[in-house]
Structure 1
């Protein structure tokens, strides 16, 4: 049985809770009755360190930390800073601000913290109150004198009423007569000029209640997902399975929809206790491919069955009881379906057969032996194995040459292709209806054949009813993919973008000269899909919904299996605004193994509005134009322990003035080493106007996005910047590359064409978005919806009319028709949400956390909303998609 170190599991749990929920675990054993006086300087140092990273201790968390012993405070604070540095990518090249924390704190710690807080307030007055979490200029945030902790005027008035206004509620420091620090301070103004941009501190909360229970609630959501998990979620799943109690088999949902996830869970159960796991296997495995995935997960590999994974996979031996049970499961499957499943992954099954030894139990499990004989092309009439049977069992007799031919040509895929080639749309539709996911994937093809064989004719009502009934069983991924494909505008000869299944996000495009599906034909099917989304979106009722119009810029996640781990989980293809300011700093960091030299290069390719190449900034051209783009210099190796980092500074205004419209960020492996061979590699960007010059080239608090470079790729295109619109499209894509010596000049045409195809593929209306999902949820579960505009102003209101169908209400909401403007004298968003059960879906979590809010919330970027009660269900983009799984 594989055992996981408890210290490792606890550290992973702490990272999980910090990243997903913004909470910090504090050891509960042996807490002191009150704050240890020796901790005052240590807490002050931690305040300053966190401010330098853009974080803030809330009052409850600070109080709990103060009650630790000095040694525990050192360990907890140091661990917290280390986890934040790993999230931001600051753990390789930079050290914590104060070394030997908190044993040797410099005397200027308070001055540094005070200076940092003044700078944050001068640049952005909407900082969160450390006591109540509220934000905004209207609540009057100020820094207390002399400790500089942030407190709003409302909290101060409350302290006055309780006769407690003489001391800071966070640290207990006696307050000066003026209460708040004056803003007109030379050191603060200088720090504000150095910081530059408008940054908001991110509050850290104390983890309350049983953190394991909170974590296991996330396990339930991951197991219920109906789309493949991205790498970060897969890592979290491993942590949560290691944390799960002994009754894990009883905690599993009735169905684990994603088969890769099911394989990981079953393998984890086998490692824990094979005796209790075997009955679970027999109950939950229903296809031969499930067994193959289990063998891969059992061997420590991703159960994706991809060739790239197979090349590295060494199958682990099976105990004899497990081997017999797996053969029995295979033998219980219908022979035709078993043979078809084995042929689908022939090479993998040939390897698996060497472990399973199906002929060793040919008398007990004849169907399995027959299927492997068919897979290997064995003629049992002449093979010694066949001669051992006096009278071969019926399944083996089916493997005669005629039977072999019939099985090979009567598979599901062959029947569908034959019907479509013959133009038999009704027949193909009836066949595809047996497999709803395949129907959703083939809808565009079906309509194309219909438009060719019956031009100008709509789909019969019977066909639409059959589609509607079948799509009830389709997973949300294929359903949303079909929705985006069918509702977008198409033209003859358009370039279509494809994302092949793999371990990394590859994309390729080709011109499509097939029949264009008429809008009238696709519109009827889109209405069917919209109705199905509304049906699935219905559930527990909410009193109110708050949505963000900017959700229309966020693509519904797809192909998450190959997505990179990122700081902010922006779905691939989404468009987001650039940080405020004129300058960005792109960064690339990598560290090579001891015995391998690796030369990565950070590059920027520039194009005009017609995608004509206008220049570059890389190791061959360190400066572009009038210093519009500047490269930090070329490292040709990155030895441990610190590796190497390259930067490119972009002046957005100067680039646009020089004739460039698009800037494409690219990472090349110059000497043709795959990213997966590196010890560590990541790239991203930071807001240069928000960086502190004193922090050096990499300021953690200014980091806005980072992604890990993984897989067998050698060229990565993380994002495309639109210099005119000041927005970027998050691509997270890789391109094929061979031969080494990679550079922008060599790939400029390929990168330009790929970028153009990506922007066209993800143009508005061409993909399903989080806005579509949020509108379907809101319309199906509440009668009142507030929508914030892209400018972040007061939200407009949509009310469902008396007797108005849900579909009509949803259509108004999606199109933002007939909404009411906000009453300037009415209550604000926070007041309207307080004490209510609500569905909230926002781009920015900058809404102050309302009191007694319940329901569910999705937000892309962190903010004061994260301080909402623990009972509030927190959703990721993948969770939003999962809520639209089949419901029977």
Structure 2
């Protein structure tokens, strides 16, 4: 590691919880019990070194956080500072060495910390004047941000004038040092220009704010937000949940919500309770178990596996042993379930329950738990009349169950739910299929596209009957957010016969498959009333909780962010960009892609970083990989091919992209690919991640990996061997974040050999994730804003601000339709965003959190990228994209 940890963390979980607060809330927690009555002189001097180290990574201490840290004892400040830097380095991937094979690819620390910090701040200001004020968070040229002399802390002209009026203008409000006669350091000097040229960095610093109190109290609100999700958690969220459960107070059972909607999340919670209390926790667990599958998921989570019950997980799972009290407690939970549903649940996951039976030993307790024993006899397909245990159990229970073979079920005419629906749809009986599907609204909404397709085939040109539309509307009101948004995306796009359709099978990694669809195209006039019902339902759910806001601030570029889906298979990332979203590339002409991995002992692993290039018609134009280190006139340059990555340093490969050079050479798309040359799955690696950085913002010379310029990082995990992290559109200067894996049967050793397949998949991905074919965060945020606020302010892609006001007689649905389409604006805003939000309770949803912090702002905030608004106080509740989706939980109509 580039920086030694002088004071180690108490445990790995402490590191996870600190990283959780830093990544999720942009905050640092300082316990009041660790603080001295006043600033410590040695700590004040030590903070200068921390300022310099943070600025090097692109971060800035807010004045409140800095003044609080100044009251720490020097040794405690060293622990906090080293821990903070280590967490930032870990998030950025800078906590290890990155040495390219060719040391000069692609073609001295100052002794005084104050001088080093001053040089960095002046370089930041020269390259990007829109830095945040450390005192109030304002930014922009009009704010007059400058570096105070001699401490170099950032302060805007308004704050300086206000402090001067209060008689406090002679000292820096951040560190308290006496200011010089010139107040601000001169920027445009030869030394400043040299620092800007060497240091680079057109990106704004990211403020770190203070959270008072202990980490556990600060994180409990996030625990309840994760437990309220109605979709499976992403790997990053699951890690966060594990850290939060490990730090939860002893009265955790009483703090849990009455219902945890997602079964997998509930299993993680129940396993945490079991680890905490052992057999004493069984009564609390039993209150939350209502199916046999809950017990099965609990066993998987107890054994340290993901409770997804997927075959891929089962192959790697080794069940953890249970003590006799635990076995008896779990068997008693199963015994208390209805016998018929118990048998049905066991047969649904037969192979997993056969393994669980070896752990639970149900026959050992056959007299105490006869129904459970009988269910396992049936599960093992033993005849109750001939099996010794079966005869004994049959005598103790009423109406013993008999195993019916598949052939006998067919002869007797037994047909399952899916079979009945498929039979009715195959016969063109849409009305009958909807009657059956009405009992399972989630299944009905998932099949909406299929139902409308059958209706269009059976009765061409006929509208959807009002009775059937009422049935659909009733199902929409009861379905979870995931199927609702999925149906919305499937129906809103313009479909064509024979088009390529993309599918994502359920699994631990995000594998994608495409095929041609020659089915009947659903006419737009047939889909329109269903789309209208879905849009009305989104607005209704947006305001169903009764919460109101004075104003809503939305970013029009939310339309480029896809609503999260299949988060179970999403990779851990630095910035949680939903899969399929399109984002702007960093300003500048050069990108640096990176890949780092470390192999375990006694196993050689050869990963390769490659870039495949295509023209606007997806014809292959070239590549940059281990077989072709330089493409064109150095438009793409590879750092060299490592064939192993032994510990402790591993190996790193880079590819530099000259965006203008690639476009000039006839390429339109650049597809980033990582694959395992010797067919070792990513999950077998000790560590592996990839990502990209803004090369124009890097200092000249020195290291090839610059943590301050890292824009995205993705962990390589799971049983996949090929990853396609992103697709770059060189013409539009945007990239689509794909986070996809592809099959690697027979090996994937050459991008050139698979260029056609990679191009076809990339084309299908861009078509599938186009905004008109998917539900977006704009759809969710605009529905929420229309339902909860009478005034909505929208910031356009050009920076202009438009205002929408709800009319006195206008319904929320009509207001939502007008806002969603961005029509009927009430004109431009007559003041800046801080003034619009000052003193308001607001719903804020932004792509970039570059809005200065308004005074006395409260409400809720979603932002994708950090910025000055992160310095807002705790009254502004932070949300993630998953939280926005979870807010669409079905609620009864009022």
TM range (shorter): over 0.9
* Superposed displacement of residue 305, structure 1: 0.7
Map Cα deviations across residues 378-414 of structure 1 (whole Å, 9 max, x no partner). 2222222233367473442443669973899343223
The question of whether the paired residues in 1 share the 8 Å contact of 2:279 and 2:326 is answered with no
Alignment counterpart, residue 751 of structure 2, candidates 733, 744, 754? 744
So what's the TM-score if we normalise by structure 1? 0.95
- Matched residue count: 873
Alignment counterpart, residue 863 of structure 1, candidates 836, 861, 867? 867
Alignment counterpart, residue 163 of structure 2, candidates 154, 159, 166? 159
- Secondary structure of the 1:284 match is coil
> What residue number does 1:65 align with?
69
The question of whether the paired residues in 2 share the 8 Å contact of 1:116 and 1:188 is answered with no
- Secondary structure of the 1:304 match is coil
> What residue number does 1:821 align with?
827
Map Cα deviations across residues 10-33 of structure 1 (whole Å, 9 max, x no partner). 332221111111111235335333
* Superposed displacement of residue 155, structure 1: 1.2
Task: Tell me whether 329-338 or 768-777 shows the greater mean CA deviation.
Answer: 329-338
Map Cα deviations across residues 261-289 of structure 1 (whole Å, 9 max, x no partner). 00010111111114453223332222222
Q: 1:723 and 1:291, CA in 2 relative to 1: closer, same or farther beyond 3 A?
A: same
The question of whether the paired residues in 2 share the 8 Å contact of 1:197 and 1:581 is answered with no
Asked whether 1:261 is paired with 2:265, we answer yes
Task: Tell me whether 448-457 or 859-868 shows the greater mean CA deviation.
Answer: 448-457
Asked whether 1:309 is paired with 2:326, we answer no
> What residue number does 2:506 align with?
501
Asked whether 1:471 is paired with 2:476, we answer yes
Task: Tell me whether 658-667 or 290-299 shows the greater mean CA deviation.
Answer: 290-299
- Secondary structure of the 1:207 match is strand
The question of whether the paired residues in 1 share the 8 Å contact of 2:430 and 2:451 is answered with yes
Task: Tell me whether 322-331 or 444-453 shows the greater mean CA deviation.
Answer: 322-331
> What residue number does 2:600 align with?
593
> What residue number does 2:814 align with?
808
Asked whether 1:107 is paired with 2:114, we answer no
* Superposed displacement of residue 358, structure 1: 3.3
* Superposed displacement of residue 142, structure 1: 0.4
Task: Tell me whether 390-399 or 58-67 shows the greater mean CA deviation.
Answer: 390-399
Map Cα deviations across residues 154-199 of structure 1 (whole Å, 9 max, x no partner). 1111221122222222222222211111111112212222344521
> What residue number does 2:218 align with?
214
- Map 1:765-784 onto structure 2 (within 5 A): 765-784=772-791
> What residue number does 1:852 align with?
856
Give the Cα–Cα distance (whole angstroms) in 1 for the partners of residues 330 and 525 of structure 2: 50
The question of whether the paired residues in 2 share the 8 Å contact of 1:719 and 1:728 is answered with yes
- Map 1:183-202 onto structure 2 (within 5 A): 183-202=187-206
- Map 1:750-765 onto structure 2 (within 5 A): 750-765=757-772
Q: 1:470 and 1:335, CA in 2 relative to 1: closer, same or farther beyond 3 A?
A: farther
Q: 1:632 and 1:365, CA in 2 relative to 1: closer, same or farther beyond 3 A?
A: same
- Secondary structure of the 2:608 match is strand
Task: Tell me whether 464-473 or 672-681 shows the greater mean CA deviation.
Answer: 464-473
- Map 1:362-381 onto structure 2 (within 5 A): 362-381=366-385
Q: 1:403 and 1:744, CA in 2 relative to 1: closer, same or farther beyond 3 A?
A: closer
Q: 1:183 and 1:402, CA in 2 relative to 1: closer, same or farther beyond 3 A?
A: closer
Give the Cα–Cα distance (whole angstroms) in 1 for the partners of residues 854 and 292 of structure 2: 50
* Superposed displacement of residue 338, structure 1: 3.4
Map Cα deviations across residues 690-730 of structure 1 (whole Å, 9 max, x no partner). 11124421111111000101111111000000000000000
* Superposed displacement of residue 248, structure 1: 1.2
Give the Cα–Cα distance (whole angstroms) in 1 for the partners of residues 759 and 262 of structure 2: 36
The question of whether the paired residues in 2 share the 8 Å contact of 1:716 and 1:733 is answered with yes
> What residue number does 1:733 align with?
740
Map Cα deviations across residues 204-245 of structure 1 (whole Å, 9 max, x no partner). 112224542220000000000001100110000001101111
Task: Tell me whether 647-656 or 511-520 shows the greater mean CA deviation.
Answer: 511-520
Give the Cα–Cα distance (whole angstroms) in 1 for the partners of residues 176 and 798 of structure 2: 39
- Secondary structure of the 2:752 match is helix
Task: Tell me whether 473-482 or 565-574 shows the greater mean CA deviation.
Answer: 473-482
Give the Cα–Cα distance (whole angstroms) in 2 for the partners of residues 12 and 821 of structure 1: 47
* Superposed displacement of residue 366, structure 1: 4.2
- Secondary structure of the 1:273 match is helix
Q: 1:453 and 1:367, CA in 2 relative to 1: closer, same or farther beyond 3 A?
A: farther
> What residue number does 1:530 align with?
535
Give the Cα–Cα distance (whole angstroms) in 2 for the partners of residues 514 and 412 of structure 1: 23
Q: 1:366 and 1:388, CA in 2 relative to 1: closer, same or farther beyond 3 A?
A: closer
The question of whether the paired residues in 2 share the 8 Å contact of 1:846 and 1:862 is answered with yes
Q: 1:717 and 1:127, CA in 2 relative to 1: closer, same or farther beyond 3 A?
A: same
Give the Cα–Cα distance (whole angstroms) in 2 for the partners of residues 518 and 105 of structure 1: 66
Q: 1:820 and 1:390, CA in 2 relative to 1: closer, same or farther beyond 3 A?
A: closer
> What residue number does 2:494 align with?
489
List gaps (5 residues or longer) in structure 2.
1-8, 100-107
- Secondary structure of the 2:400 match is helix
* Superposed displacement of residue 332, structure 1: 4.0
Give the Cα–Cα distance (whole angstroms) in 1 for the partners of residues 394 and 17 of structure 2: 60
> What residue number does 1:611 align with?
618
> What residue number does 2:103 align with?
none
Q: 1:864 and 1:856, CA in 2 relative to 1: closer, same or farther beyond 3 A?
A: same
Task: Tell me whether 727-736 or 47-56 shows the greater mean CA deviation.
Answer: 47-56
- Map 1:70-81 onto structure 2 (within 5 A): 70-81=74-85
Asked whether 1:440 is paired with 2:445, we answer yes
> What residue number does 2:324 align with?
320
Alignment counterpart, residue 140 of structure 2, candidates 136, 141, 150? 136
Q: 1:532 and 1:493, CA in 2 relative to 1: closer, same or farther beyond 3 A?
A: same
- Secondary structure of the 1:25 match is strand
- Secondary structure of the 2:164 match is helix
- Secondary structure of the 1:316 match is coil
* Superposed displacement of residue 93, structure 1: 1.3
Q: 1:408 and 1:700, CA in 2 relative to 1: closer, same or farther beyond 3 A?
A: farther
Map Cα deviations across residues 631-668 of structure 1 (whole Å, 9 max, x no partner). 11111111111111111000000100100000000001
* Superposed displacement of residue 438, structure 1: 1.4
- Map 1:48-447 onto structure 2 (within 5 A): 48-93=52-97, 107-388=111-392, 391=395, 393-399=397-403, 405=409, 409-447=414-452
* Superposed displacement of residue 247, structure 1: 1.5
* Superposed displacement of residue 334, structure 1: 4.2
The question of whether the paired residues in 2 share the 8 Å contact of 1:386 and 1:392 is answered with no
The question of whether the paired residues in 1 share the 8 Å contact of 2:818 and 2:824 is answered with yes
The question of whether the paired residues in 1 share the 8 Å contact of 2:724 and 2:740 is answered with yes
So what's the TM-score if we normalise by structure 2? 0.94
Give the Cα–Cα distance (whole angstroms) in 2 for the partners of residues 12 and 395 of structure 1: 53
* Superposed displacement of residue 147, structure 1: 1.5
Give the Cα–Cα distance (whole angstroms) in 2 for the partners of residues 801 and 674 of structure 1: 58
Give the Cα–Cα distance (whole angstroms) in 1 for the partners of residues 700 and 572 of structure 2: 28
> What residue number does 2:628 align with?
621
* Superposed displacement of residue 302, structure 1: 0.4
